[in-house]
Amino acid sequence: EQEQEWVEEDVLGVYVVIQCSHSGSKKIKRLKFSREKFNEMQARLWWEENRVRIHEKYI
């Protein structure tokens, strides 16, 4: 059985790609940031400020 993968929009312009193994364990595969809302530095800062919350919410 393959791993499932889906995308959640956490806040406007921030997409969390989540992967779930057949055993049920979840991990954050990657984050995607809208280029219209975030430049590279803003995305890095957002991740630093929200990393713990994102892990608590999705894992």
pLDDT, average across residues 36-58: 98
Quick one: pLDDT at residue 22? Answer: 87
Question: What is the residue type of 24?
Answer: G
- Give how many domains the chain has, as a whole number: 1
Q: What are phi and psi of 24, to 5 degrees?
A: 100, -5
pTM as predicted: 0.86
Residue 35: give the domain boundaries. 4-58
Work out the pLDDT band at 3, boundaries 50, 70, 90. confident
Instruction: Pull the structure tokens for residue 57.
Output: 């919410």
Work out the pLDDT band at 1, boundaries 50, 70, 90. low
DSSP 2: P
The 10s digit of each residue's pLDDT in 20-35 is 998 889 999 999 999 9
